[in-house]
Structures are given as structure tokens and as C-alpha cells.
Amino acid sequence: MTEKIIPLADQRYLNRIPIVPAHLEAPTGLLADTRARPLHDLRISITDRCNFRCVYCMPKEVFDKDYPYLPHSSLLTFEEITRVASLFVAHGVEKIRLTGGEPLLRKNVEKLIEMLAALRTPDGRELDLTLTTNGSLLARKAQALKDAGLKRVTVSLDALDDAVFKKMNDVDFAVTDVLEGIEAAHRVGLGPIKINMVVKGGMNDQEILPMARHFKDTPYVLRFIEYMDVGTSNGWKMDEVIPSAEVVRRISADMPLEPIAPNYTGETANRWRHADGSGEIGVISSVTQAFCSDCSRARLSTEGKLYTCLFATGGHDLRALLRNGNSDEEISTVIAHIWRARDDRYSELRTANTSELKERKVEMSYIGG
């Protein structure tokens, strides 16, 4: 991938970063960016590999046997991940999500979870430590993940109909295996569990209602995600996006819904509850209703680059700092500079012609969702 890498160790670069005026700092006194958004979440991609080939993420034609996946030596080690994570936690991060690729494919992932679970916020609280998975290995691993200190999981599931699901994952993986994984995670206490369904028009939108019916009256919260133009491989077109308003309209016509307040500022999903009191759903309208103004997420790629937006074209190479003998204080200062300079709001600026952008955006499987 041709991609812009910003040389962090370069002092001239650091000097160019504007310092945020004091009145724009987060009310907590912790870090804030140029739009006064605090640094609250860290998403860590721990592998760029996956056992699925979801059509909207890792299309088979691109992610074939010749695809240049990262060599093992490029990956951050568990010690490096934990060290960086601890610096982010000192800056105010309270929620860490492991992702990928498929995070459960990373060897000994339980060990990493154990190391991250030992971190504490500056005032001594445990982190909200979670993970997003395609569920394929969940039935086998749920207990070990729980024992290692994972708090909860989010499971991606794009259809209940086996044929449609297999068309989406493109590796012939059966729905029942994912459903078993979800149940296993629930049994061992990895809840509350969220189920994410990416809706791609003409592909799985006929599954909106069956999914809503299936997860109604269960402990699981189903969330519908608008198909996004992440990366450059999935051939995204605006007319394949089913707007969240349409998802809500279709469900409401069958099972009346009413809106409910967000759980916290910066929550990506808009919440709706079944009027008969049988649970709630969420819609994530990344395309039709951008939520950049509350976006408090930083992303660490598998090889240790820091991205301040899912749609970034360049990352900041923290691995170089880790492996060049820089102190915690130095790396921490760099993180602060990067966050303070952040002005990303891609989704607010998106047009139907994003595929015409000249710079390559990073792939979802590399940066994580």
C-alpha cells in the first residue's frame, strides 16, 4: 500500500503542531483535539488477517493468496501493545477494543487480554475492555477470554439466512456456528453483547426484519451499520447504502419502535426501543448522519501506526519510537501532540464521489472497525 507516513521522531514536525488554546481543552483537564473532542477510546488492531472474506471488507479478488499481509516481525508485540495502551490510558482512555482482521486469530490473544486487563485509569478504575469478532472462534474461546479479564464482546452477523450469510462472508461459514458463539459468550458472562449487522443494499437488506425479529426479546442488542466507504478495495457506491432512517422505517412498520436517549456522549449508535418493551436496537449512521463532532476514538494499527480517523490516508509511526529506545515520557508527549492537532471529520465532508479521492485510505482489515 502506498501510504503517507509522518516521521514523528522529526523535531521540526513536532514544532509545527499547533497547541490547542486552553479554553478548548476537555473539561476533565485531559487531552482534547482542535474540535475540543476528548481522547476516550482506543481501538487496537492485532492482526490484519481473517478467516472470512466479507464482500464489503476483504473481497476475495483483492485479498487472495498473493496479498501482502504483514510479516510477524512487523506486528507490535504484546509488551509493545500494552506499553502504548498504558500511555493512552494515562491520557484519559477508558475503553479499549481489540479488533482486526479477526482478533481471535492472533495466537495467545488471551495473554494480551490478561496484560491489558491489569491496566487502571489514573483514578484506579478498571478499563472497559472489549473485542469485536466475527464469532467463528467464539464458542471455543469464550471461557478463556472471560477468565483472562475481557469484559464483553461485540459479534458481527450480517444475516440469519444461511445462504445470504455465506454470500456475505464468502468462505461458506454457517450461521449456526456464529449463533453458538454468541450463546457461549453470553453463558460465560461476556455481556452485554452487541450484534453488528452491516447492511449492503441488494445483498442482505432483506435480512433486516428477520434479524430484528430474531433478536427481539433476547439479552442481545442488534445494531444496523450503514455500509461505509472504508479503504479502496470494496468498490463502495452510495446507492448500495441503506440509510438508517429506512432501516428504522422498515422495522417500525412491523414492530413499532420509539427513540431513546444515548447512554453517553459520543455513542455511535442511535438507540430505539420496541414499543412493547421487548428490548432495543441501534442504528449506526456513519454515512447519512455523521457523528464526527463527538468522535473520541484513536486507532492503533497492527504494526503500531496511530490513526486519528477511520478514513485516514496516513498514520503516525509509534512502533519506530517504541523500537528506537524512546522513553514513556517522550512517546506520551508525541501522542499528546498528535491528538491536540487532530481535526478529522471525514464523514461530515464525504460526498458520493469519495472513490475519486487521490490518496489511498487504509483498509478496514488493517485498521480495524
Residues making up the annotated binding site for S-adenosyl-L-methionine are 56, 101, 156, 228
Q: Judge whether 304 and 80 are in contact, CB under 8 Å.
A: yes
Rule CB under 6 A: which of 172-231 touch ligand SAM? 196, 198, 225, 227-228, 230
Binding-site annotation: residue ranges for [4Fe-4S] cluster: 50, 54, 57, 292, 295, 309
Confirm or reject binding of residue 302 to ligand SAM (CB under 6 A): no
User: Could you tell me how many residues of this chain bind ligand SAM (CB under 6 A)?
Assistant: 21
**Closest distance to ligand SAM from the beta carbon of 340 (Å):** 28
Distance CA 306, CA 54 (A): 25
Measured distance between the N- and C-terminal CA atoms of the chain, rounded to whole angstroms: 19
Binding-site partner at residue 291 among ligand SF4, ligand SAM, none, CB < 5 to 8 Å by type: ligand SF4
Binding-site annotation: residue ranges: 43, 50, 54, 56-57, 97, 101, 132, 156, 194, 228, 292, 295, 297-299, 309
Binding-site partner at residue 44 among ligand SF4, ligand SAM, none, CB < 5 to 8 Å by type: none
Distance CA 113, CA 46 (A): 11
The per-type count for the chain, helices as H runs and strands as E runs, is: 12, 13
Cis before 192 (ω within 30): yes
Confirm or reject binding of residue 315 to ligand SAM (CB under 6 A): no
Binding-site annotation: residue ranges for GTP: 43, 97, 132, 194, 297-299
**Closest distance to ligand SAM from the beta carbon of 316 (Å):** 21
In the structure grid, which three cell numbers stand for residue 196, read together? 453488528
Phi first, then psi, for residue 285 (nearest 5°) are: -100, 60
Nearer to ligand SAM, 299 or 340 (CB): 299
Beta bridge partners of 150: none
**Closest distance to ligand SF4 from the beta carbon of 267 (Å):** 12
Q: Which of 47, 130, 234, 308 binds ligand SAM (CB under 6 A)?
A: 234
Cα-atom radius of gyration of the chain, to the nearest Å? 20
Contact partners, residue 67, CB within 8 Å, separation at least 6: none
In the structure grid, which three cell numbers stand for residue 301, read together? 494499527
Confirm or reject binding of residue 310 to ligand SAM (CB under 6 A): no
Nearer to ligand SAM, 91 or 194 (CB): 194
Q: String of b and e for 288-300 (b: at least 16 CB within 10 Å)? A: beebbebbbbbbb
List interacting residues with ligand SF4 (CB under 6 A). Answer: 50, 52-54, 57-58, 100-102, 134, 156, 291-292, 295, 297, 309-311, 344-347, 364-365
Rule CB under 6 A: which of 144-173 touch ligand SAM? 156
Beta bridge partners of 95: 41, 128
In the structure grid, which three cell numbers stand for residue 30, read together? 485531559
Phi first, then psi, for residue 142 (nearest 5°) are: -55, -50
Nearer to ligand SAM, 304 or 368 (CB): 368
**Closest distance to ligand SF4 from the beta carbon of 297 (Å):** 6
**Closest distance to ligand SAM from the beta carbon of 262 (Å):** 20
Nearer to ligand SF4, 100 or 304 (CB): 100
Q: Judge whether 91 and 328 are in contact, CB under 8 Å.
A: no
Q: String of b and e for 126-148 (b: at least 16 CB within 10 Å)? A: ebebbbbbbbbbbbebbbebbeb
Task: State the residues that interact with ligand SAM by CB under 6 A.
Answer: 50, 56-57, 99-100, 102, 132-134, 156, 196, 198, 225, 227-228, 230, 234, 364-365, 368-369
